[in-house]
Chains A and B, each alone.
Chain A
Amino acid sequence: MVRQELKKLVIYSFFLAIIITPMVGFKNADFDAVRVLQTLAVLIGILVLNLIVKLVRSKRPQRAPGYKAWTERARERIELIPKLYTLGGLILITAVFPVFADNYMIDVAITCLIYITLGLGLNIVVGLCGLLDLGYIAFYAVGAYTYSLLNLKLGLSFWAALPIGVVLGMTCGCIIGYPTLKMRGDYLAIVTLGFGEIIRLVLNNWDSLTAGPNGLFGMQRAALYYPTIQEGGLNWAIYNIKSLPSLYYFIYVIVILTIIGVRRLDNSRIGRAWVAIREDETAAELSGVPTTWIKLLAYALGAGFASVAGAFFAAKLSYTNPNFFLFMESCIVLCIVVLGGVGSIPGIVVAGIVLIAAPEIFRGLESYRMLAFGAIMTIMMILKPEGLIPAKRLKRELVETQANE
């Protein structure tokens, strides 16, 4: 076996060299051998590491039946603690986070939370319903632009504009969803990708309304109104959500509400219908699931959550432009869903934190961020398609099939 693996290693290295040498070596007309060797060293190093891990694993004595990996044990250990405590602890830690963190950390945390909201929304479409949506970020754009335009042109406040934005986002979700209802997975992916690009191009080209690539700025922040007693009477005072901690708490509440919403949906009849469609659409339809409506609902709800995140985003920056909504953004959100585990809420939260915060921690490697995202997506699909923290329902299904054997 070692021989065979070594042979594989040599072949892979050879092909890597063929692929890497011209592309990396000739950034200019002159050949840069150092750059090639560095790249090859890193890549072949990864292959060697992988091989060593493989060999060590195969050499290890056969596990006794019932043996559990440390991850599994850790999971069980965590599950032993009453859920209320874990949840309470997590909520407490995240709630007091801004008190101890500096502004930069809070800003990163806000970005994480925005992406978690997006991930949870996309999870409805991809994770629960099994429909690959590559234009998801468009709904984020719809939310952002709806608030921006309503505020700038009509002077609507955030709270007045938010429901309009959500309704508009959901409508767009249905518009995109409708023609794709009968399509197969890969066509669907392309159509959603096309729709996403269309929305971005419209925002980019419609100068008179959206100011084109310059974007819109000067929107008001979201504000809270609270009663005060001033000059003899009850009055409403305004608190602008502008400081980073206040923005953090705002998006924090949005995430909590989203989690509650998605959880309830997941455990409802609708959630079961989505999973039924994901597993076998024909069977679902035959057993009386109104697949058309249920699929549209998935699109609409997913889009709704993205719109909320978009409106928040626009209010936070007080600026928006079409380049915030590139295809790559859709890929990042998708990567969060894939890494966390399709259909798994805790998975998406963890993946959102890891994927968005990690590049901030390793700043020197930031340019490798998307490279890593791409690699993660492919590797996850090959090695662990159910994600880092598989959804409970998926786990149940796996256990049941084993029991049948």
Chain B
Amino acid sequence: MDTSSFILQQIVNAIFLGSIYALIALGYTMVYGIIELINFAHGELFTAGAFIGVIVLTGLQSFGFVESHFVISMFIVFGLAMAYVAVLGVAVEHVAYKPLRDSSRLAALLSALGMSIFLSNGMMLSQGVSDRAYPPVFGVEGINIGGAIITNGQIFIVLLAVAMMIALQLFVHRTRLGKAMRATAQNRTMARMLGIDIDQTIRITFMIGPALGAAAGVMVGLHYGAVRFDMGFIFMIKAFAAAILGGIGSIPGAMIGGLIIGGIEVFWAAFLPSAWKDVTTFTVLILVLYLKPSGLLGESESEVRV
């Protein structure tokens, strides 16, 4: 493989990884936008999605449905994983966030952190400490562009991720509910005065955000071939870095941030000692928070506060 196709391959990988980070980051950004709090349990919701994905996929495969109806079975796998995590997301909101809506930030953060620890260990107890293997559904074949190989799986996943982001953008800007969400995020008191049911709006945000994370979880499982109860942790930090980098609260920002973080990671691993790639991502996160906490597309702090 010559240098140019090697670089092209890295770009392909970066876009792939970046889309997954972007999907997870969207969940953070949406929840943050509406309640101004980080959803610490997001990483665990992502992992839960991956687990449901493998459970459904294994079930479908056991009677040969995946081979005969590939698209429908993918639809079922993603649909069920997202639906499940949407329910779980609402449960997290109801238990850990809603009772603390008027408390201090510290209390809400600790409560969410407790929820994250609880879910992570609940999954460890129910699904075991070791990897759970995803049945391979995508082969190694793919298309070759200038020496870089894009597998069918990667194409499928990136397309699906992009479709979800477009759908989200349309939902938030075109539908009544989406507008209610934006209004609530921008000025909660005023939104209430206009007749928006805040509780319901927050609940729906806690369905959609985690559901996107769940989709990302299934994608990670499909691509890497395994899930583990604690894999949410590292993805959480990276997706959070992406959300911050793009500007928390901003949906296009989360997408751009995801691509940048994915790019940094892939290229670092390609050219520099790969054991240090996570250190680099964390450093980027800290630098961004220190130097430009509003991110690339985010509103400045003061504006968010208004």
Contacts and interface: CB of A to CB of B under 8 A. Distances in A.
A and B touch in the complex (CB under 8 A): yes
A185 B122 contact: no
Interface string A198-236: 100110110000000000000000000000000000000
Interface residues of B, number: 58
A130 B109 CA distance: 12
B276 A205 contact: yes
Contact of B105 (A180, A186, A202): A186
Nearest to B122: A371
A267 to B, nearest CB: 23
B214 interface: no
Nearest to A381: B111
A190 B240 contact: yes
Interface in A25-61: 26-27, 29, 39
A338 interface: yes
Contacts of B121: 368, 370-371, 374
B38 A186 contact: yes
A22 interface: yes
Interface SS, A side: helix
B106 A191 contact: no
Given A29-B59, A29-B62, A179 B110 contact: no
Given A201-B278, A374-B121, A15 B87 contact: yes
B293 A183 contact: yes
B44 to A, nearest CB: 10
Contacts of B123: 23
B282 interface: yes
A194 B109 CA distance: 16
B113 A334 contact: yes
Interface in A324-371: 327-328, 331, 334-335, 338, 367-368, 370-371
A179 B289 contact: yes
A27 B54 CA distance: 10
B84 to A, nearest CB: 7
A378 B116 CA distance: 9
B260 interface: no
A185 B84 contact: no
Contacts of A180: 290
Contacts of B119: 374
A377 interface: yes
A175 to B, nearest CB: 11
B279 interface: yes
Interface residues of A, number: 54
A376 interface: yes
Interface in B50-64: 51-52, 55, 58-59, 62
A163 interface: no
A143 to B, nearest CB: 21
Interface string A238-268: 0000000000000000000000000000000
Interface string B152-191: 0000000000000000000000000000000000000000
Contacts of A374: 114-121
Contact of B289 (A27, A190, A380): A190
Contacts of A202: 279
A381 B114 contact: yes
B111 A371 contact: no
B113 A185 contact: no
Contacts of B100: 381-382
B76 interface: no
Contacts of B125: 367-368, 371
A374 B113 CA distance: 7
B117 A205 contact: no
A39 to B, nearest CB: 8
A183 B289 contact: yes
Contacts of B283: 194, 198
Given A18-B87, A183-B289, A189-B38, A338 B116 contact: no
A183 B292 CA distance: 11
Contacts of B91: 15, 19
Interface of B: 37-38, 48, 51-52, 55, 58-59, 62, 84, 87-88, 91, 95-96, 99-100, 103-123, 125-128, 233, 237, 240, 244, 273, 275-276, 278-279, 282-283, 285-286, 289-290, 293
12 contacts: A18-B84, A23-B127, A27-B126, A130-B106, A179-B286, A183-B289, A190-B38, A194-B283, A195-B286, A197-B282, A371-B121, A378-B112
Given A18-B87, A195-B286, A382-B111, 11 more contacts: A19-B91, A179-B289, A183-B289, A186-B38, A194-B283, A371-B118, A374-B120, A377-B117, A378-B112, A381-B103, A382-B99
Q: What 8 A-B pairs have minimum CB-CB distances, sorted nearest first? A: A377-B114, A374-B118, A374-B117, A378-B114, A381-B111, A179-B290, A194-B282, A371-B121
